[in-house]
Amino acid sequence: MRFEVFRGRDFLYYFRFVAANGQIICTSGDGYTTRYNCINALDLVKKYAAHAIVFEK
């Protein structure tokens, strides 16, 4: 599994989480104007995701 940082067609930066089989599991909803801001947001996801509570709606 891996995280990928990429540029969209709108020239903004996004990140996605990719499974070992290549399937995209999730992507960032918002685009970021700089690669630095995108990686910063990704680092926050990696830091807090393990402690997140799951809510069903």
Q: Which amino acid is at 21?
A: N
Indicate the Cα dihedral angle 10, 16, 20, 22, nearest 10°: -20
Supply the pLDDT for residue 50.
86
Please indicate, yes or no, if residue 40 is contained in any of the structural domains: yes
Please indicate, yes or no, if residue 38 is contained in any of the structural domains: yes
Indicate the Cα dihedral angle 46, 47, 53, 56, nearest 10°: -20
Supply the pLDDT for residue 23.
97
% of the chain surpassing 90 pLDDT:
84
Which CATH number fits the domain that encloses residue 40? 3.30.160.160
Distance CA 17, CA 20 (A): 10
For residue 27, the enclosing domain spans 2-51
Please indicate, yes or no, if residue 7 is contained in any of the structural domains: yes
Please indicate, yes or no, if residue 57 is contained in any of the structural domains: no
Q: How many domains does the chain have?
A: 1
Supply the pLDDT for residue 13.
98
Please indicate, yes or no, if residue 56 is contained in any of the structural domains: no
Please indicate, yes or no, if residue 6 is contained in any of the structural domains: yes
